[in-house]
Amino acid sequence: MKRALIMILLASMLLGGCEAKEGVNTEVQPETGVVTEAPTIADGEETTAPVEETPVVDEGQEPQEAQNPEAVPVLRDAVREKMGGFIGCEVTGFEADDPKVWDIITTHFERVTLGNELKPDALVGYSVSTCPGTEIAELNGESIEVPVLDYSRADKILDQILAWNEAHPDREIKVRGHVLVWHSQTPEWFFHEKYDKNQPYVSAAQMDKRLEWYIRTVLTRYTGEDSKYKDLFYGWDVVNEAISDGTATYRSDAENPNESLSEDRHGSNSSWWHVYQSNEYIINAFRYANKYAPADLELYYNDYNECDARKANGIAELLEAVKAEEGEPGVGTRITAMGMQGHYGMTSPSETAISNAIKQYCAIVGKVQITEMDISASSSYDGSAEAVDEENERLRKRYNMIYYTINTVNAEDDVEVCGITFWGTVDHYSWLQSRSNVGGGNTTGLPQMPLLFDGEYQPKPCFYVFTK
């Protein structure tokens, strides 16, 4: 016992000082100023703190591993062994350029999601105010005018991953495509005549041609038979965040006419709905993805606040609508799993809410993945060095409860959580650093510490939750 106490004291010295650095945000684009992937907690969501969880490690285990960097277990191997699924992380361009982050990714993660570079605004070179130029494309025997796409940002990261995989075939990293159809970060001009947002909206029939062309073009470039990237991708988010927090049903354009449409992040309005006036764009997106994606490429719906009971019912309605149209490529839809983003607060959602959501989605589509996991700071965290150790302990307990819940429900019949992806690697690059009042947590705008590695690129106590 005495030896264990000494080890704990030594570990505390080493693991202290992991306060996140201020003012860095992986999700703010310098070209556009758009902040993306922001979770909110709908009114009425459970905020009851969970009951104390099963201990994370045996006495003395965590401090011993923390003292010796060479003894730090490999995250991807530990998760694969215990959960039977993969562990992944989000990465953007400047993170991939940081050699310390790259070392963390290649050591500990087997899946990555590009944070911004495969979103529609990135693929038009962030020309969000005006179309960057057009060209003529052929679609189903018809010539149509389409915007010129810019793949350079995505290709830079993907080429880096390809080079790693070629040099390390036993430690390959696979990629999740994110995202084809989203009301946010899709330039407003994409929905208008002559690709000019000052012109009238196009008809649903014309928009559908643009939708099919876009999905075909992106999937063919990155997963087509002649693509050098064809073996790199394991899945793709087809539609993102199409359910409203406020109404718990489809985002539309009728709830608040004063809201902007696709350029708005939090509002319920959507230019996709404005043009189609139905969920047809969602159904067709999955139909076209099924048509142009390889049969082994997984196709997902992805959303946040996914554990709120009201919104979960709305998401379930969407999943059921997509499933109802399943069929052969070129005819029907295909959906592989539900992406539960996992942007959580320190006390919400509860263990019960997480478990219920997983079961509800698995009952419809069979599988769930946690796709953008992080935890916003507690309301008592003030960003001071003295508060870091206490916050680390809260974070460790919170992640322990979540991982325990995932593994518990995963053991049930007809439930499969096949992977967990964190929205970042190190605290100081987290998109939460520029956010406040996120996920029911910190409301002061102080630094956040939501991830597994601290500002010194070292594993935090919560890291060992996933390596036991």
The pLDDT value recorded for residue 17 is 34
Beta-carbon contacts of 305 under 8 Å, excluding residues fewer than 6 positions away, are: 39, 40, 41, 42, 45, 245, 311
CB atoms within 10 A of CB 145: 14
CA 270, 149, 31 angle in degrees (round to 5)?
A: 70
Structural domain including 181 reads 2-466
pLDDT band at 253 (very low <50, low <70, confident <90, very high): confident
Tens digits of residue pLDDT in 202-241: 999 999 999 999 999 999 999 999 999 999 999 999 999 9
Cβ atoms of 187 and 123 closer than 8 Å: no
Per-residue pLDDT at 78 exceeds 70 = yes
Report the CATH number at residue 9. 3.20.20.80
The pLDDT value recorded for residue 260 is 44
Give the number of domains in the chain. Answer: 1
User: pTM for this structure?
Assistant: 0.83
Tens digits of residue pLDDT in 37-73: 333 333 333 333 333 333 333 333 333 334 455 689 9
For residues 303-340, one letter each, b for 16 or more C-beta atoms within 10 angstroms of the residue's C-beta and e for the rest, the string is bbbbbbbbbbebbbebbebbeebeeebeebbbbbbbbb
